[in-house]
Chain A
Amino acid sequence: MSLAPKLRAPPPGRPEPPQDLSRRLEALLRLAFPLVSTAMVLILSATPIGLPALAFALSMPAIAFWTVFRPAGMAPPIVFVLGLLLDLLTMAPLGVHIIVLLALHGAAMRLRFWLARQGFFLVWLCFCAGASAAILLAWGFTALLLLKLPPWQPIFHTLLLTTGLYPPIAILLSRAHEAMRRAENAS
């Protein structure tokens, strides 16, 4: 980071990195927002009263959205941490959700430039395909680790939940994303 004079015009499309403490803090908060918000949603959704499949169903839209639209905030280590949290919160064998969420993240990362240009419905459709693959993968890994077939009904429950929850989550997160982008452009 060079101490460039303020007078120099920033290169087009990319603003000058924030210099002073408050701006740096702001940038850090923006960077941490996807992780913190998703983790909090996961923790709240894993309350003993709620649905058992809710945490997994909520984690997938958030991870897919942030991977496509704000990959800096949803790097692989962050996905790893979220997967570990999900594994510990739910009673799944350790590691299953980490791998599944990382796979979803990798797929979204591959298609990110293409997806970012598509309309909402196509993205939703792609998300449905990716989520169903991820849920099947989680089921397969659980079967492999427990050495018995887990019940198959939760597959459908989770799939229905996550596809149904994607639009509201995406609307909320895109609001947040817009707000952060505006703040970034302003600074």
Chain B
Amino acid sequence: MIRLSIPLRQVLARLSLPIMIAVAFGVMLLGKADTVLVERLRNTLSDALAPIYGAVSQPMNAVEQAIDEIRGLAALRSDNAKLREENERLRRWHAAALGLETENALLRRQLGFMPEGAPNFHAARVVADGGGTYARAVLLSIPPQHGIRKGQVALDERGFAGRVTEVGWRSARVLLATDMNSRVPVTLEASRARAVMAGTNGARPRLAHWPEGVIPQEGERVVTSAQANAFPAGLPVGVVRRNQQGSLEVELFARLDNLEMVRLFDFGLSGILPPEAVARPEPRPARH
């Protein structure tokens, strides 16, 4: 220990508070000036303390879980009542669904309806927007041994997104429904009228060529039509909206502005293929 004379020690003791306050202001300025240094200090400290916190948090978690469980027990009665009521309601719906199912089966039998098989699909990740010939198209990354063909239908989790127009070794391009070159045959669900949904490069494609005498209603659901054998019937597309100019548009269910994954469905259709494929449609066994 360094020996100091008593008066010097007293002076030091008296001065230490002002000195420390001055140093604290210095630290404050340093923290304001060099945030990286402060972050590094904080990280070092939390790294050092992480094992302690890990050990402490286990009993704390146990206590929290116990409290949660007690709370759950207290809510059991009201939950039970709620569930009972919900069960009652669902049971009614179940009965209604069963009735509808038998009715549907009956009608099908009367019609001699041939049910369609479930289509195969591949999920693919969207890796790039745009590019290529089209303004509204996305590039998909696909595995090399894929079964993806031109003309397959791309859907996101909500609805129709577009069609495959180019297929490469590891990638495929999907022309989105919003592109100016996209024309999709659709059916208006309420009136069963056919129409064409034409892309405009905007967010909402235009609705065109609906038959005379039918007025598409605002909010009416739009689904794909099997006309021209390019799409299966009944894929969800969007709803009819009237824009400010009074013309009719389709608000798509699919979120085309931030597509992440699409599913490519193979419906085994080869009606109208994109121009490049017109010369020689790729062979594929037809579905029975």
What is the interface of chain A, defined by CB distance below 8 A to chain B? 43-44, 47-49, 75-77, 79-80, 83-85, 87-89, 93-96, 98-99, 102-103, 105-106, 109, 141, 145
Contact = CB atoms under 8 A, between A and B. Distances in A.
Given A47-B60, A94-B38, A99 B17 contact: no
A76 B22 CA distance: 12
B9 to A, nearest CB: 12
Contact of B53 (A48, A93, A96, A145): A48
A43 B52 contact: yes
Interface in B1-38: 13, 16-17, 19-21, 23-25, 27-32, 38
> How many interface residues does chain B have, given as a range?
20 to 34
A19 to B, nearest CB: 14
12 contacts: A47-B60, A49-B61, A76-B16, A76-B19, A77-B16, A88-B41, A88-B45, A94-B28, A99-B21, A102-B17, A102-B24, A103-B21
Contacts of A105: 17
B103 interface: no
Contact of A47 (B42, B45, B56): B56
Q: Is the interface of B mostly helix, strand, loop or mixed?
A: helix
A47 B21 contact: no
B28 A43 contact: no
Contacts of B19: 76
Contacts of A89: 45
B49 interface: yes
Given A75-B16, A77-B20, A93-B32, A99 B25 contact: yes
A95 B53 contact: no
A145 B38 CA distance: 14
A93 B30 CA distance: 10
Which among B27, B32, B38 has the greatest number of chain A C-beta atoms within 10 A?
B27
A171 B31 CA distance: 37
B38 A47 contact: no
Nearest to A43: B49
Given A43-B52, A102-B17, A105-B17, A49 B27 contact: no
Contacts of A103: 21
A96 B25 CA distance: 9
A145 B28 contact: yes
Interface in B35-71: 38, 41-42, 45, 49, 52-53, 56-57, 60-61, 64
Contact of B32 (A80, A83, A85, A145): A145
A141 B32 CA distance: 12
B27 A94 contact: yes
B17 A95 contact: no
A102 B28 contact: no
A109 B56 CA distance: 35
Contacts of B38: 94
A76 to B, nearest CB: 4
Nearest to A144: B28
Contacts of B27: 84, 94-95, 98
